[in-house]
Amino acid sequence: MTARRRLVPYGLLGPGAIWLALFFVVPMYFMGELALRTGTFTEGFQSGFEVSNFSDALSGNTTQFVRSFVYAGTATLIALLIAYPLAYAIALRAGRWKLLLLFAVVAPFFTTYLIRTIAWKTILADESPVVSVLQALQLVPEDGRVLATGGAVIAGLTYNFLPFMILPIYASLERMDTSLIEAGKDLYASATQTFLRVTLPITAPGIVAGILLTFIPAVGDYINAEILGGTGTSMIGNVIQSLYLEQRNYPEAAALSFMMMVAILGVVLIYLRLAGTGAFMGDEEERG
């Protein structure tokens, strides 16, 4: 290989790597730096090493931290339950309807996120038919409501991030060699057995990717809590937003953002260890 040829990949990477370094890595550094500053907004924030910003940010917002992970976790689980059979149907059963169904799943992406969420607010209004039905079915208490509860926030998160769950699972099912199912049927006879021992393990990478792609944006979300939530349903994103843009307490806001990122990476790490697969885009890493 010539020296020039060795330089080619760097030339190809250059623009993208520089862009990401400048506008992703460097900002993270500044956020870290901001998180350690002292002072108040009116007097200016001086640089420092105020580690207590981190403990303050955590101690004051434990509830919201826990709530964010619980809401996002629940939404991810529900999304998985909805998405798997749907992806299965589209990938293996839909036949000529495949493209149309796939398309219908992606379609909601193309109306603005906010508009979709606001539409749900109308659908779930206290006096709406949907809520009356839920009340009749005893799923919601007679004088109860859906809107402005944690349930509404979870429902919103589930809906808004569902395509992120469906697509990777669909992709893994689509790639699957269907003759394996036939072989499984010959081997285990029962369709349930075949599903559990053949289909599920093969599509595990898709499931892992889907879970991560749903969970991560859901944890950091604040729009659903803002529009569909009520009192006592704020997520950590709402707190960060308020600290940054309402209270202008930049150091604490930055500290909180930083800790959220660490917490998410921690959860992802534990999860990937438990799931035992490197499906999360870093697939090549695992192979290498």
Among candidate residues 257, 163, 172, the one with its CA nearest the CA of residue 214: 163
Shortest Å distance, C-beta 136 to another protein: 19
Shortest Å distance, C-beta 5 to another protein: 9
Shortest Å distance, C-beta 138 to another protein: 19
140 interacts with another protein by CB under 8 A: no
69 interacts with another protein by CB under 8 A: no
139 interacts with another protein by CB under 8 A: no
Structure tokens at 92: 């293996």
d(CA 71, CA 113): 19
Among candidate residues 231, 252, 215, 239, the one with its CA nearest the CA of residue 61: 239
d(CA 180, CA 189): 13
x/- contact string, 245-274, with another protein (CB under 8 A)? xxxxxx--xx--xx-xxx-xxx-xx--xx-
Residue type, position 246, single letter: E
Shortest Å distance, C-beta 142 to another protein: 13
154 interacts with another protein by CB under 8 A: no
Which sign does the torsion angle of CA 55, 224, 80, 110 carry? negative
182 interacts with another protein by CB under 8 A: no
Shortest Å distance, C-beta 118 to another protein: 6
Taking CB under 8 A as the criterion, which residues in 77-136 touch another protein?
A: 82, 85-86, 88-90, 93-94, 99, 101, 103-116, 118-123, 125-128
53 interacts with another protein by CB under 8 A: no
Residue tagged 């931290």 (tokens) = 65
- With respect to another protein, which residue has the nearer C-beta, 49 or 138? 49
217 interacts with another protein by CB under 8 A: yes
Q: Total residues contacting another protein (rule CB under 8 A)? A: 137
Q: Are the C-beta atoms of residues 243 and 249 closer than 8 Å to each other?
A: yes
User: For residue 19, what are the CA distances in angstroms to 22, 33, 97, 184, 216?
Assistant: 5, 20, 41, 48, 23
